[in-house]
């Protein structure tokens, strides 16, 4: 080989190793940022804020990875992970047996529960009160699964499925649906952020749920790293600080 081509070979090898290392230094994350206080878009800056956003950034910090977060459709999160477009998902995703068939979950990082949101004074304050009613949900959420089970049992009149929480809430506000079944902390945050909405919520109506960070099943290495980072953040008090920041007043 000529000296020059050897030089180019060495040069391109150095360059490709360099860019590989750069690629490895990034944690590509997807969320659906319509789920305050876990993930939402700051109205003024467009920044992604929330409990989950702080948590995943701190996980990146522990792992020495640059965290890049995309805000995509809720229903597209798991497909995008399976396609290899992302390394992990954090979006208030409840760990369920069905989802565990498709993806791996980190250790649970948050304990949650469902509630029922309905018009103030409308007499709906439990799942039983939904008999004969139209229930609005974000599609393919645990709220949807609960409402769909009620529908199958003949205990609600219909289930309206929306792409976003905001649209489901709006359906109740305009009277197109009677109630939303949704994660309680998100109902709280919505009611606080929309004080003029004529809505209230009933309190817990389900067994507790646990949120996990979803990772591709072929990426056990990352799963272990994320679990390790979660343990580190708990041990260092950083997890508690994030919790206090978003839920301290509750």
Binders of ligand ARG in range 160-179 (CB under 6 A): 165
How close are the terminal C-alpha atoms of the chain, in Å? 71
185 binds ligand ARG (CB under 6 A): no
Binding mask 193-232 for ligand ARG (x = CB under 6 A): ----------------------------------------
CB of 50 to ligand ARG, least distance (A): 9
Smaller CB distance to ligand ARG: residue 93 or 147?
93
> Pick from 48, 67, 81, 93: which binds ligand ARG (CB under 6 A)?
93
CA distance 155 to 151: 5
CA distance 223 to 88: 9
CB of 209 to ligand ARG, least distance (A): 6
Choose the stretch contacting ligand ARG; rule: CB under 6 A; options: 32-40, 63-71, 78-86, 217-225. Answer: 32-40
Choose the stretch contacting ligand ARG; rule: CB under 6 A; options: 31-39, 57-65, 152-160, 190-198. Answer: 31-39
The full DSSP string for the chain is --HHHHHHHHHHHHHHHHHHHHHHTEEEEEE--EETTTEEE-TTT--EESHHHHHHHHHHHHHT-EEEEEE--GGGHHHHHHTTS-SEE-SS-B--HHHHHHSEE-S--EEE-EEEEEETTSS--SSGGGTT-EEEEETTSHHHHHHHHHHHTT-SSEEEEESSHHHHHHHHHTTS-SEEEEEHHHHHHHHHH-TTSSEEE----S--EEE--EE-TT-HHHHHHHHHHHHHHHHTTHHHHHHHHHHTT-
> Pick from 141, 146, 206, 216: which binds ligand ARG (CB under 6 A)?
141
Smaller CB distance to ligand ARG: residue 13 or 77?
77
CB of 141 to ligand ARG, least distance (A): 3
CB of 237 to ligand ARG, least distance (A): 26
Binders of ligand ARG in range 53-92 (CB under 6 A): 74, 91-92
Smaller CB distance to ligand ARG: residue 39 or 104?
39
Interface residues toward ligand ARG, by CB under 6 A: 32, 34-35, 39, 74, 91-94, 138, 141-142, 165, 183
């Amino acid at each position: 080989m000529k000296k020059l081509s050897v030089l180019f070979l060495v040069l391109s090898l150095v360059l490709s190793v360099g860019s590989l290392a750069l690629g490895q230094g990034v944690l590509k994350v997807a969320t659906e940022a319509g789920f305050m206080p876990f993930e939402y878009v700051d109205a003024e800056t467009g920044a992604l804020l929330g409990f989950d956003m702080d948590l995943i950034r701190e996980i990146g910090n522990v792992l020495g990875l640059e965290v890049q977060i995309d805000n995509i459709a809720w229903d597209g999160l798991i497909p995008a992970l399976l396609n290899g477009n992302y390394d992990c998902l954090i979006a208030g995703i409840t760990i369920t047996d069905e989802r565990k068939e498709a993806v791996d979950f980190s250790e649970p990082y948050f304990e949650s529960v469902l509630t029922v949101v309905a018009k103030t004074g409308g007499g709906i304050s439990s799942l039983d009160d939904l008999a004969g009613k139209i229930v609005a949900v974000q599609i393919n959420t645990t709220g949807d699964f609960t409402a769909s089970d009620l529908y199958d049992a003949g205990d609600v009149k219909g289930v309206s499925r929306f792409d976003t929480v905001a649209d489901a809430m709006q359906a109740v506000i305009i009277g197109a649906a009677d109630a939303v079944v949704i994660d309680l902390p998100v109902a709280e945050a919505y009611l606080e952020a929309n004080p003029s909405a004529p809505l209230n919520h009933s309190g817990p109506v389900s067994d507790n749920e646990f949120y996990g960070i979803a990772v591709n099943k072929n990426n056990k290495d990352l799963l272990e790293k994320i679990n390790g980072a979660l343990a580190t953040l708990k041990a260092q008090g950083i997890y508690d600080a994030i919790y206090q920041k978003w839920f301290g007043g509750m």
